[in-house]
């Protein structure tokens, strides 16, 4: 499927092409305008739209927050918009991109499948959205490194590098697949905001917590681990074929034959075959993808283990001395189980991906959550860890 956004102006494409080709990012000139537009949009939301709208509609909360928490608030607004929009676009591409669906049926009998080196403009759009966000993320994390922490800078660098390398193109097919990791991020941001607007422990936060835990388990663990195994298999086959071949040609002609009367979208799949054929697959490239994916999957499993432990801890607590009916115990216990697990995930993932831990360490005593109640400028702690 062709990119639904019109191509960049010729001057911008020509300005980008020399250094993009030196970096072997051959499809980047076709999406450089989208990377810039999405970066500028996210930066505008962070610097202008979020502060203005928050002061206008939630002045009793936003204006009374410390400066570092206001910055974190604006960062979470951008994260919510980005994660929601990119997931919707990725799902749309997976359903509507017929050329991408055709790549999925390629096998290894005749050489490297198109899902490793093929390209569609729609998948390139998903990559451009991610790269634009991580450019913003890197700049904000660097400027506010004392607030977000050094870990956020390295997280932004690694994520930006992985998604930028997709413009070779490499694993362009999988860009919508792995962007679905972000399916749980909107609910994680909502959980954070509900803490800040004095809705900690509310029914809204409980329902959101159910959606957060369900989306995290299904998207990051079930879907993520399964698709990781699939892409590992493809990369291993690519490396094995690359090492066993004495030729520098990576893409056999049988995969990228020129056909008569093919549509522009179909022709686009093989648009960068010549550039790919001129170089061998560097071993560091699949190694970098495997390493980054293993780190992220390990963190997801670790965070899920912490959530399970939070639930187990709740059930291990001693019964209160005051006798209560089963209905009252259930009414208190069940929401707390969900909220404890959601709060554990929000703290751990937020520390890694949103700089929440730096705010917590710099601004609040140990053992107290970030939930606050703003009352006349005073921050009243409502929930303890």
pLDDT tens for the 385 residues of the chain, in order: 999 999 999 999 999 999 999 999 999 999 999 999 999 999 999 999 999 999 999 999 999 999 989 999 999 999 999 999 999 999 999 999 998 988 887 766 544 567 888 899 999 999 999 999 999 999 999 999 888 788 888 889 989 999 999 999 889 999 999 999 999 999 999 999 999 999 988 889 999 999 999 999 999 999 999 999 999 988 888 887 777 655 444 555 445 445 556 788 888 887 887 777 677 778 899 999 999 999 989 999 999 888 888 877 766 654 454 445 444 444 444 567 888 888 888 888 887 787 776 666 554 443 333 333 333 333 333 443 3
Residue 158 domain flag: yes
- How far is CA 335 from each of CA 68, 207, 209, 332, rounded to the nearest angstrom? 30, 9, 9, 6
Is residue 4 in a domain? no
Terminus-to-terminus CA distance in the chain, angstroms? 49
Best CA proximity match to 71, nearest among 132, 154, 150, 145: 145
Task: Decide: residue 244, CB within 10 A, 0-12 exposed, 13-18 middle, 19+ buried.
Answer: exposed
φ, ψ dihedrals at 384, nearest 5°: -105, 155
Determine, yes or no, domain membership for 226: yes
Residue 378 belongs to some domain of the structure: no
Q: Is residue 373 part of a domain?
A: no
Q: Is residue 61 part of a domain?
A: yes
Element of type H or E holding 335: helix 326-353
Q: What pTM does this model have? A: 0.84
Q: How many domains in the chain?
A: 1
Q: Is residue 374 part of a domain?
A: no
Q: Is the CB of residue 345 less than 8 Å from the CB of residue 303?
A: yes
Residue span of the structural domain in which 337 resides:
10-365
Is 267 among the domain residues? yes
- Nearest alpha carbon to residue 27 among 129, 124, 160, 130: 124
CB-based contact 81:45 (threshold 8 Å): yes
What is the 8-class DSSP label of residue 191?
A: H
């Amino acid at each position: 499927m062709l990119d639904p956004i019109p191509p960049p102006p010729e001057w911008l494409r020509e300005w980008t092409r020399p250094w993009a080709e030196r970096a072997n990012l051959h499809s980047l000139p076709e999406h450089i305008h989208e990377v810039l537009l999405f970066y500028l949009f996210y930066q505008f939301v962070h610097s202008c739209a979020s502060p203005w709208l928050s002061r206008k509609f939630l002045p009793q909360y936003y204006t009374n927050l410390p400066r570092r928490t206001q910055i974190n608030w604006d960062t979470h607004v951008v994260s919510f918009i980005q994660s929601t929009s990119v997931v919707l676009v990725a799902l749309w591409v997976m359903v509507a991109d017929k050329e991408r669906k055709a790549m999925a049926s390629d096998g290894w009998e005749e050489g490297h499948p198109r899902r490793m080196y093929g390209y569609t403009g729609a998948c390139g759009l998903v990559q451009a959205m991610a790269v634009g966000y991580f450019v913003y993320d890197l700049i904000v994390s660097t400027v506010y490194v004392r607030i977000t922490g050094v870990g956020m800078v390295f997280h932004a660098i690694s994520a930006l590098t992985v998604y930028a390398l997709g413009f070779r193109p490499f694993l362009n097919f999988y860009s919508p697949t792995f962007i679905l990791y972000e399916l749980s991020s909107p609910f994680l941001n909502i959980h954070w905001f509900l803490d800040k607007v004095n809705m900690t422990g509310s029914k809204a936060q409980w329902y959101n917590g159910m959606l957060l835990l369900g989306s995290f388990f299904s998207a990051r663990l079930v879907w993520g681990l399964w698709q990781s195994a699939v892409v590992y298999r493809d990369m291993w086959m690519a490396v094995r074929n690359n090492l066993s071949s004495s030729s520098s040609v990576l893409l056999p002609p049988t995969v990228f034959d020129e056909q008569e009367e093919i549509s522009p979208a179909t022709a686009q799949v093989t648009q960068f075959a010549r550039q790919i054929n001129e170089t061998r697959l560097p071993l560091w490239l699949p190694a970098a993808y495997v390493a980054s994916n293993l780190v992220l999957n390990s963190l997801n499993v670790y965070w899920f283990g912490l959530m399970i432990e939070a639930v187990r801890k709740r059930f291990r607590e001693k019964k209160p001395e005051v006798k209560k009916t089963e209905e009252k115990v259930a009414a208190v216990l069940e929401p707390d189980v969900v909220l404890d697990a959601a709060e554990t995930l929000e703290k751990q993932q937020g520390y890694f991906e949103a700089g929440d831990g730096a705010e917590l360490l710099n601004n609040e005593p140990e053992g107290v959550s970030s939930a606050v109640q703003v009352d006349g400028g005073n921050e009243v702690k409502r929930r303890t860890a």
